[in-house]
Amino acid sequence: MARARQPRRARRSRRTRAATAFTSALTATLTAALLSLTSAVIAPSAHADEIPANGNFTFTTGPGILPAWDSAGVSLVGVSPGSVITNTITNTARVNLPVISKSGTANATAGGFRFVNTESGESFRCSVPVVDTRARVIDCVLPSGYNSAVFEISTIAERTKVNTTATKTTIFQGMELRIINREMANRLNDELDTSVFSASVVLGSGSLIVSRAR
């Protein structure tokens, strides 16, 4: 007995649905594979190449900076293991921060420092500063928990490399520091209830010594 033929429209409809399902499945598979590849290539761990390091970052306030802060009732205080040492003879303050690790040109330090309004107690804290010699910025973890570039390294006068069989050491000297922009200067002024900070003023000069194992 001859089988009844199905209408062409019904056969075409089934073929169309099958083709659509196949195309959707293929698209989904390719999309998932592409996303996986993109994640692997573009978004590796931010600290994937972070390595232990040691050394220190220091900067000393420039002429007239500390007296200006003092007259505005603003003091600079170290956050352990960082420290701030004030020299009453030269009327300067020296910040010292130990280097603990590096990732490329970004050098992480421990501790930090804070500016304090000595009358109101208001403060602005820069925690675990990261000194990036390529981007020429100093990032801080702010009290909000977010990272922000607070200072600009406008000049690096000299860099020297000293290598041994066990370590690689890089020394940066003559690092001129400024507040990174007017917005950050305004933020410091607002949070400390002052007007002493300006992005156009050189705050001081620093140096960075970083050593790591070969």
In order along its 214 residues, the chain shows pLDDT tens digits of 445 555 544 454 555 454 555 455 545 554 444 444 434 333 343 444 899 999 999 999 999 999 999 999 999 999 999 999 999 999 999 999 999 999 999 999 999 999 999 999 999 999 999 999 999 999 999 989 999 999 999 999 999 999 999 999 999 999 999 999 999 999 999 999 999 999 999 999 999 999 999 9
Q: Map residue 164 onto helix, strand or coil.
A: coil
In Å, what is the CA distance from 192 to each residue of 36, 38, 115, 163, 201? 46, 44, 8, 44, 18
Residue 7's pLDDT is 52
DSSP state of 184: H
Judge whether 66 and 204 are in contact, CB under 8 Å. no
How many other CB atoms sit within 10 Å of the CB of residue 14?
A: 11
Please write down the HEC assignment for all residues of 7-66. CHHHHHHHHHHHHHHHHHHHHHHHHHHHHHHHHHHHCCCCCCCCEEEEEEEEEEECCCHH
pLDDT digits (tens, 9 = 90+) for 61-109: 999 999 999 999 999 999 999 999 999 999 999 999 999 999 999 999 9
User: Smallest Cα–Cα separation from 211: which of 42, 25, 6, 51?
Assistant: 51
**Cβ contact 47:103 at 8 Å:** yes
The whole-angstrom separation of Cα 163 and Cα 48 is 24
pLDDT score at 41 = 39
Q: Which residue has the tokens 């598979």?
A: 29
- Among residues 84, 133, 81, 88, the alpha carbon closest in space to that of 109 is found at 81
Domain residue ranges of the chain, discontinuous segments joined by +: 1-43, 51-213
pLDDT for the residue numbered 12: 47
Instruction: Indicate the DSSP class of residue 174.
Output: E
Residue 37: per-residue pLDDT: 43
